[in-house]
């Protein structure tokens, strides 16, 4: 009798081709935000058994895993029922877990474990997991959301708007929840929260799908204090992970807006004697030429996207002047769907003089005000409310 019941359960799962059966539940199909590497892991190979006078064939069971490294990666799925399992394999990051838009837990380097959200009441529900920490030298993995039965599976959430953000530590949210300039490596790790970054907040305001392709310390032609020459943000942009080998596959990803905020690391430190640029003018010329080529590659990739180049207007205006020169060069070459968004007035009270939580609010408001001018992002005309 027990064997007969098991046979019926396995056959029912095999009859649902759109639903993946894992060894410890039925996998939900998530909407994935950010670049990840998805792989299928076999939980149990196919096998046959003799029952009831005949041979029964059973299909293999498997689940999809998602390896990630870029900041701000998130996973979101819909289901019915009163519980969902969240399968983690991440000993590096701060992760935020949400249910129906409400923050349920912050998981600090949880490792390999499964978190159960239960007693949720009848659905439907939306479960969401966000990577909030930054990792440059390691990867982590999400093993998916699972529920108890195929009847609880709903389709993945859908977004009408899409946004891509390309930048450095400002976008990552480097130490942005800190209240001091001086931070240890551990304090930087523990106070960096990409979910509080101005770009994440802006995307959520517009209820948009988003990708954050940013990494601390990297510039357009020169990284902070010239560390790792040549391994700049435009170079890393080609990869799905920071392993310098796994190329990105962006098929199907078409953003409505692309926001780029680069240049801080190129100009924030003096040139050293052993650098290839002998003068600041040499650096500026290389920056302008390389940045323009990078934006042209984005335009070729995303022909209809509106592109915004952000830059801080600070000190001797070196950064904003260089970015304005990039925009002028692009427009003289025929680019007409791009503008520059300068910003100033930040207090830089977070770790290593990075933007503070207050500054994130200033940048968020500035960005949503500019995006609201685009037809696709006019919430009031579309009868929609943003998620502040």
DSSP E strand boundaries for the chain: 20-22, 25-27, 31-33, 36-44, 47-51, 54-58, 61-68, 74-79, 84-90, 94-99, 102-108, 111-117, 125-131, 140-147, 161-167, 208-214, 257-261, 306-312, 338-343
- 322 within a domain of the structure (yes/no): yes
The token duo for 357 is 């939580």
Give the orientation angle of helix 318-332 with respect to helix 280-301, to 10 degrees: 50
Q: What is the pLDDT of residue 175?
A: 97
**Cβ-based burial of 219 (10 A; exposed 0-12, middle 13-18, buried ≥19):** buried
Residue 228 CA neighbour count, 13 Å, CB half:
15
Residues 239 and 372 in one domain: yes
Task: Judge if 21 and 52 occupy the same domain.
Answer: yes
Same domain, 81 and 207: no
Q: Is the pLDDT of residue 6 over 50?
A: no
Given a contact cutoff of 8 angstroms between Cβ atoms, the answer to whether 254 and 302 are in contact is yes
Give the pLDDT of residue 316: 80
383: in domain? no
Q: What is the mean pLDDT of residues 278-291?
A: 98
Domain boundary among 122, 152, 182: 152
The CA R_g of the chain, rounded to the nearest whole Å, is 23
Q: What mean pLDDT value characterizes the chain?
A: 90
Asked whether residue 315 carries a pLDDT value surpassing 60, the answer given is: yes
Q: Which of 152, 176, 193 is the last residue of a domain?
A: 152
Domain range for 236: 161-377
DSSP class of 28: P
Per-residue model confidence (pLDDT) at position 60: 59
Top pLDDT among 243 and 21 is at 243
Q: What's residue 59's pLDDT?
A: 60
Distance CA(168)–CA(227), nearest Å, equals 14
Containing 326, the helix (H) or strand (E) segment is helix 318-332
Q: Which are the catalytic amino acids? A: 169
Work out the percent of the chain whose per-residue pLDDT is above 70: 89
Asked if residue 382 is part of any domain, the answer here is no
Query: pLDDT digit string (tens) for 137-189?
Result: 899 999 999 999 999 999 999 999 999 999 999 999 999 999 999 999 999 99
- The string of pLDDT tens digits covering residues 29-60 is 999 999 999 998 876 666 677 777 787 766 65
356 domain-assigned:
yes
Identify whether residues 211 and 305 lie together within a single domain.
Answer: yes
Residue 386 has pLDDT above 80, yes or no: no
Q: Flag whether 244 is in a domain.
A: yes
Distance between CA atoms of residues 327 and 324, nearest Å = 5
Compute the average pLDDT of residues 228-254: 96
Domain count within the chain: 2
Q: Does a cis peptide bond (omega within 30 degrees of 0) precede residue 338?
A: no
Q: Report pLDDT for 380.
A: 65
Looking at residue 157, the DSSP 8-state letter turns out to be: P
Q: Is the pLDDT of residue 84 over 50?
A: yes
Q: Tell me which of 152, 180, 205 is where a domain ends.
A: 152
| Residue 344 and residue 243 in one domain | yes
Q: Answer whether 127's CB lies under 8 Å from 144's CB.
A: no
- Specify if 358 maps to a domain: yes
CATH of the domain at 357: 3.40.50.1110
Q: Which of 375, 360, 307 is nearest to 161 (CA)?
A: 375
**65 lies in the same domain as 137:** yes
Specify whether 249 is located in the same domain as 215: yes
Q: Quick check: 4 pLDDT over 60?
A: no
Tokens of 22: 């894992």
Q: Are residues 249 and 281 in the same domain?
A: yes
């Amino acid at each position: 009798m027990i064997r007969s019941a098991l046979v019926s359960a396995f056959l029912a799962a095999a009859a649902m081709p759109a639903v993946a059966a894992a060894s410890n539940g039925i996998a939900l199909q998530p909407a994935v935000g950010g670049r990840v590497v998805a792989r299928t892991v076999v939980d149990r190979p196919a096998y046959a058994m003799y029952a009831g006078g005949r041979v029964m064939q059973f299909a293999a069971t498997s689940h999809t895993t998602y390896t990630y490294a870029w900041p701000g990666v998130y996973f979101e799925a819909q289901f019915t029922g009163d519980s969902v399992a969240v399968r983690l394999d991440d000993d590096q990051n701060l992760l935020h877990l949400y249910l129906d838009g409400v923050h349920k837990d912050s998981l600090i380097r949880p490792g390999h474990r499964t978190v159960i959200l239960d007693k949720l009441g009848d659905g439907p529900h939306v479960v969401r997991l966000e990577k909030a920490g930054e990792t440059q030298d390691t990867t982590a993995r999400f093993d998916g959301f699972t529920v108890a039965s195929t009847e609880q599976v709903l389709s993945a959430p859908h977004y009408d708007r899409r946004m891509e953000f390309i930048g450095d530590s400002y976008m990552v949210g480097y130490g942005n929840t800190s209240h001091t300039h001086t931070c240890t490596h551990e304090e930087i790790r523990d106070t960096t929260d990409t979910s509080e970054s101005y770009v994440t907040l802006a995307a959520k305001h517009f209820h948009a799908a988003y990708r954050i392709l940013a990494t601390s310390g990297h510039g357009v032609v020169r990284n902070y204090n010239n560390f790792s020459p040549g391994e700049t943000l435009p170079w890393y942009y080609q990869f799905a992970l920071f392993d310098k080998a796994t190329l990105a596959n962006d098929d199907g990803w078409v953003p409505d807006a692309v926001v780029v905020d680069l240049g801080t690391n190129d100009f924030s430190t003096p040139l050293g004697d052993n650098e290839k640029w002998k003068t600041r003018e040499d650096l500026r010329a290389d920056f302008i030429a390389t940045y323009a080529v990078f934006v042209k590659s984005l335009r070729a990739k995303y022909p209809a996207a509106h592109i915004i180049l952000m830059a801080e207007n600070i000190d001797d205006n070196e950064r904003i002047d260089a970015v304005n020169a990039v925009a002028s060069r692009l427009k003289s070459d025929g680019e007409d769907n791009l503008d520059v968004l300068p910003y100033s007035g930040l207090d830089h009270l977070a770790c290593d003089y990075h933007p503070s939580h207050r500054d994130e609010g200033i940048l968020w408001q500035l960005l949503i005000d500019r995006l609201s001018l685009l037809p696709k992002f006019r919430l009031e005309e579309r009868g929609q409310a943003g998620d502040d």
